[in-house]
Chain A
Amino acid sequence: MDTFVIKSLLQDVMRLTAQHIVLVCVSCGAAVIIGVGLGILSTRHRRVRKVSIAVASVLQTIPSLALFGFLLPVPLIGGIGQHTAIICLILYSLLPILRNTIVGITTVDYPVRDAAVAMGMTDYQLLRLVELPLAAPSILAGIRIALVTNIGTAVIAAVIGGGGLGVLIFRGVASLDTLEILAGAIPAAALALLADGGMNLLERRFQTR
């Protein structure tokens, strides 16, 4: 194998890894905002909780490849390209973040919440000073699951022209080129491990003890 092939493969790996990171970061960032926001609302309104959990659960059961396919013909948000892939990844990341936010907030010890309310906290103060800090480890655990899963799922984005490391993997599979498959799979796995480790450190910082 000549150096030109190696060099161009390396360039591809760098470029596609960067694309992959963008896909994951943008989709996860949006999923955190939507998921935590909906989670908080869900703890205030029972109906929001029912609907959002139901919708997020159904989304989660759709095979990821099919979800990417479903969005293709949808006007505005669908079509070929990165933005469709990002929307898919957002939808796919919602459930763990949403569910862990709700669990984290609703499992705050009753006496702690009771005392906080009886001391004269407003609902916003209760959320900011008590519920969110105490729910943080649970919320972060949800984000961690979403992030790590997302790095794997983002590989499929290549199918609908979303770019990322999946491009190498699918190309390698099509041409029976093991090196190319590995050139896509190894960085993806490394990203997942890195994200997992980083989130682990972050979670520990928020432990109460």
Chain B
Amino acid sequence: MDGRVILNRISFDLEHGETLVLLGRSGSGKTTALRLINRTLEPSSGSITVDGRNIAQLNPIELRRKTGYVIQEFGLLPHWTVEQNVALVPRLLGWPVEKRIARAHALLDQVGLDHKEIGQRKPYQLSGGQRQRVAVARALAAEPGLLLFDEPFGALDPVTRHEMQQQFLQLRSRYHVAAVFVTHDLLEALAVATRIAVLDCGKLELLTTPDKLFSATTPTAKAFLDTLPREAARRAGR
């Protein structure tokens, strides 16, 4: 808005079934990059192509309905039940009520929630972990080809976070979706990524696989590797 360059010369490709993690410090442009993909932000130059089509030529509303989106703060509609929240995109797409409710039930079960128990609850009656599961279920409801995750598990306790990451891997293979996953947590990046893009000050510093990240020599990648608690890992015998 003020003419500042936030992202510069970033380029990557993504296949179905792949998860690209955008790893970087706060303010490195990860979220901005993510938002360009569902056109909640527009690039000043450059292009983004989904399924062979330049998204600048697509209707942004339709593009977003085909793109799952999960954020750290959940963003559940507080005045709707869990069931209604999960069925949101199917509702926008005009699915009949029975079909979208059945879909919501199936998805709640897939993310590890009992739809009979919590389907009728409001978001404020859930724990943080449950809310995030609902948000993931909502993102998957209309079987999107592409998922955008913006630090989705950042607010969860480490055990719940680990469970959610495992669940994410299961859902990824089940739905064979492409995912772009923003995080500043190296362990999370290593857990879910098929490839990792390290961003620094709006520039793509490194694009690599989780294995090769350990031998990276670029400054931000090294800075992230330095955060690994080696002593703890050694004592835990891993």
Q: Which of A115, A134, A208 contacts B71 (CB 8 A)?
A: A115
Say what secondary structure dominates the interface of chain A: helix
CB of A63 closer than 8 Å to a CB of B = no
Q: Which of A112-137 contact B (CB under 8 A)?
A: 112, 114-122, 125, 129-130, 133-134
Could you tell me if A119 and B78 are in contact, using CB atoms closer than 8 angstroms? no
* Residue from A112, A117, A119, A125 having most chain B Cβ neighbours under 10 A: A119
Could you tell me if A119 and B79 are in contact, using CB atoms closer than 8 angstroms? no
Q: Distance in Å from the Cβ of A119 to the closest Cβ of chain B?
A: 5
Contacts of A109 in B (CB 8 A): 73, 75, 78
Q: Which of B187-237 contact A (CB under 8 A)?
A: none
Distance A130 CA – B75 CA, assembled complex (angstroms): 11
Interface string of B78-94 (1 = CB under 8 A from A): 11000000001100100
Could you tell me if B38 and A130 are in contact, using CB atoms closer than 8 angstroms? no
Contacts of B61 in A (CB 8 A): 120-122
Q: Distance in Å from the Cβ of B186 to the closest Cβ of chain A?
A: 25
CB of B138 closer than 8 Å to a CB of A = yes
State which size class the interface on A falls in.
10 to 19
Could you tell me if B92 and A112 are in contact, using CB atoms closer than 8 angstroms? no
Contacts of B40 in A (CB 8 A): 114, 117-118
Binds A, one of B10-18, B62-70, B110-118: B62-70
Could you tell me if B69 and A119 are in contact, using CB atoms closer than 8 angstroms? yes
Could you tell me if B77 and A116 are in contact, using CB atoms closer than 8 angstroms? yes
Interface string of B43-61 (1 = CB under 8 A from A): 0000000000000000001
- Knowing A112-B77, A130-B77, A208-B79 touch, does A117 contact B122 (C-beta < 8 A)? no
**CB within 8 Å of A: which residues of B?**
38, 40, 61-65, 67, 69, 71, 73-79, 88-89, 92, 122, 124, 135, 138, 148
Listed A/B pairs (19) with beta-carbon separation below 8 Å? A109-B75, A111-B71, A112-B75, A112-B76, A115-B69, A115-B71, A117-B64, A118-B148, A119-B64, A119-B65, A119-B69, A120-B62, A120-B63, A121-B92, A125-B92, A130-B77, A133-B79, A134-B78, A209-B124
**CB within 8 Å of B: which residues of A?**
109, 111-112, 114-122, 125, 129-130, 133-134, 208-209
